[in-house]
Amino acid sequence: MARHPLSPHWTVYRFGYTMSLSLLHRFMGLVLSVGLLVLVGWLCAAAAGPEAYEGFIRWLPLPLVKAGLALLTLAFVYHLANGVRHLCWDAGLGFERAQARRSAGIVLAFTVVVGAVALYVLFSRGAAA
């Protein structure tokens, strides 16, 4: 049986911004999958009654939990913005190098700005404490 080449393969291409954003998109999708488990746990605790809900809420002020919530928030914002970018690509828009570079910058800027606003709203005035 003849051996077929593994193209496209990661060793064939130079590591660039499109590859970086693609890997980040996949990683953030995994983070969001973990976040879905946290959401299901929160909903189950809420459905189980006040004692279970109180036990779940007791974990929120911990620094590690707050860091996890911040990561989930940023993952959601980035995954949303980059998903819109991919929808544009599916429509045949933005394939030129300059356009791809510009859309990458827009995705990153959107993530920073909207993520910062979301984190401010989430953690200001004791919202998550």
What CATH number should be reported for the domain holding residue 94?
1.20.1300.10
> Residues 121, 126, 127, 128: what is their CA dihedral angle, to the nearest 10 degrees?
110
The total number of structural domains in the chain stands at: 1
pLDDT of residue 14: 76
Within a domain: 8: no
Within a domain: 99: yes
Does residue 6 surpass a pLDDT of 70?
no
Within a domain: 5: no
pTM summary value: 0.83
Within a domain: 10: no
Q: Which is nearest to 103 in space by CA: 89, 118, 92?
A: 89
Does residue 93 surpass a pLDDT of 90?
yes
| 31: containing domain | 17-124
What mean pLDDT is predicted for residues 62-88? 96
Within a domain: 1: no
Within a domain: 92: yes
Within a domain: 44: yes
Within a domain: 25: yes
Distance CA 128, CA 100 (A): 37
pLDDT of residue 74: 97
